[in-house]
Amino acid sequence: MRKLIRDPFLFIILLIIILCLLFFVVYPIIRVLSYPSFQDFIDVPQNQRYLRAIKNSLLMVVLSTTTATFFGFIFAYTITRTDVPLKKFFKVISILPLFSPPFMVAFSYVMMFGKSGLITAQLLGLRVSIFGWRGLWLSETIAFFPMAAMVMEGVLQSIAPSLEYAGRNLGATGFKLFKTITLPLARPGVAGAALLVSILVLADFGNPIMIAGDFSVLATEAWMRVAGWGDVRGAAVLSSLLLIPSFLIFLVQRYWVGQTSYVTITGKITRIERQRTKWYMRLILFIICLTVSIMIILVYIALIMGAFVKGWGFDWTPTLEYIGSIFSRSSELFNSFVFAILAGFFSSAFAMIAAFLVSRKNFILNRFVDFTCILPAALPGIFFGIGYSIAFTRPPMDIYGTAAIIILSLVFWNISMGYQTGIGAFKQISPSLGEAASNLGAGSMKIFYQIEAPLIKTSLFSAFVVSFIRASTTLSVIVFLSTSRNVVATFTIMNLVSDGFYSKAAALTTSLLVIAFTVLGIARLVSGKRIDLFKI
């Protein structure tokens, strides 16, 4: 700490970091939890709507987590441990939902499988409704299984082939080999993936608001309390109830799974050629991966087709009318782009500086900064949005309805992604480099700017792009903050879908996708290296 005091500039930076975390992360949490009275929480068991939302949320956590983890494991296992055809294709297809707005899967499935759906009504002549828990289950499975696959892929890749080879020499083959060696060693990946998906499902707002219908969950019920009845107190109660399991699951995922040791190799790895997968297993895995891939492709087919037809479900005449109408929504797109650029820049910069201080400096509040930078990962977007709508609508900081409240909420909601990326990057850089520069008279910030920052450039770009994509496509965080003065594209899309203007919503969503992929491409060109978007 004395070293920090001797370096005034670094001390000021640290002080700013701590004050920002207190004011923009801790304070909104306290405001949400303290806004309702204790009696409001006591009355929860007496409110049937609340109980139904809690029950529905827990049901979806169980169903969607199970299926998303299952298909995520199938994809990860197919890509890393087999010789199934089209593995690279499956890998590319499986990560596409990660670039999409969170509500896009549900929206597209309404267009494909709803009462006026292209597949159900037009091709099969069925009058069925996808709205309800079944449609939500399907949507969340497809939307979140890529996260599960990403987590489990890393664990499966680390399992040495020599272990399976040794198992075969001892007589284990086929399913017995998988059950006794591969699956037990993959357990941390499966557990970590399931916990991560359960957090995402529990906090999901975009898919339920699009496809759940009258099947209310905690996130949508909280929104309805405000939008339908102006009941901010009730929304605070529901979002607080949503926080409790999310936070507990997050702690388990971070500390229990993260500290479990499954070391399988030491020293030099001997490269052993993998045994060919049996033909019937290749066929089963190929059919499963292909089916899921088709379900993902249908999302984009519906979106693109919807943007170019006159009236979805009743007039299939090709038209450019809705693409042209995007220009009438230029203010929303401009706001989404500018807000996301600013949020991505400040979030990644803040996160990297905080990661540098925590990993390189010893100070009294080191653990507080570390915990608070990671804390937003455990906060559902709907909770964070309500927190800002309560905390910053009165003095000392009344910024409701301005661009600042949306940008600040997106900055601090996303810092955990960049922070974890930064901590991982700094762990790979030897502290001796900074120590040598310090011995030559360089100050801490000069060491960071001239030595450390160039070495973490790729991680910084990764943090920026992830923050940008999340900021430009989120709905849950900004749904309580968006007004006519600061409206963004995702909020407009939600309103268009609820009003039945599917083609206009599809055109606007397509524009968001184009913006996201364009920024990703530019970032990769500027960085000059491969950007690992999912190293979080």
pLDDT in tens, 445-491: 666 666 776 777 777 788 888 899 889 989 889 999 988 889 999 99
The residue ranges of every structural domain in the chain are 43-319, 328-536
Do 209 and 130 contact (CB within 8 A), yes or no? no
Residue 79 three-state SS: helix
Q: Look at domain 43-319 and name its CATH class.
A: mainly alpha
Nearest partner of 466 among 299, 335, 343, judged by Cα: 343
Enumerate the β-bridge partners of residue 311.
315
Q: 328-536: what fold?
A: MetI-like fold (1.10.3720)
DSSP 3-state of 393: strand
Distance CA 200, CA 340 (A): 21
The pLDDT tens digits for 277-322 are 777 888 999 999 999 999 999 999 999 999 998 888 788 888 888 8
Cα dihedral 40/46/52/53 (nearest 10) = 0
| Cβ contact 79:90 at 8 Å | yes
First to last CA, the chain: 29
This prediction has a pTM of 0.85
- 7-15, long-range: CB < 8 A, 24+ apart: 7/443, 7/444, 7/445, 9/443, 9/444, 9/445, 10/361, 10/443, 10/444, 10/445, 13/353, 13/357, 13/445, 14/357, 14/361, 14/363
Find all residues with CB under 8 Å of 72, minimum gap 6, and list them.
145, 146, 147, 148, 149, 150, 151, 152, 193, 197
- Helix 403-413 and helix 415-427, axial crossing angle in degrees, nearest 10: 40
The reported pLDDT for the residue numbered 263 is 45
- The two structure tokens encoding residue 372: 């608070």
Q: Is omega for the bond preceding 396 within 30 degrees of 0, making it cis?
A: yes
Token pair belonging to 236: 């605070």
Question: Do 43-319 and 328-536 agree at the fold level?
Answer: yes
Q: List pLDDT tens digits, range 267-288.
A: 444 455 566 777 788 899 999 9
Q: In the 3-class helix/strand/coil scheme, how is 473-511 assigned residue by residue?
A: HCCCCCCCCCCCCCCCHHHHHHHHHHCCCHHHHHHHHHH
Long-range contacts of 426-430 (CB under 8 A, 24+ apart): 426/355, 426/356, 426/359, 426/360, 426/452, 426/456, 427/359, 429/455, 429/456
**What is residue 264's predicted lDDT score, i.e. its pLDDT?**
46
DSSP reduced 3-state for 516: helix
d(CA 498, CA 232): 22
Split the chain (536 residues) into runs of 10 and give each run's mean pLDDT.
Answer: 64 91 95 92 91 94 95 90 87 84 89 89 86 94 90 73 58 62 72 87 92 92 86 91 87 64 46 68 92 94 90 85 84 93 94 87 86 90 93 88 94 90 76 63 65 73 87 90 90 89 90 87 70 48
Backbone dihedral region of 48: left (phi > 0), alpha (psi from -120 to 50 degrees) or beta?
A: alpha
- Find out whether 407 and 488 touch, Cβ atoms under 8 Å: no
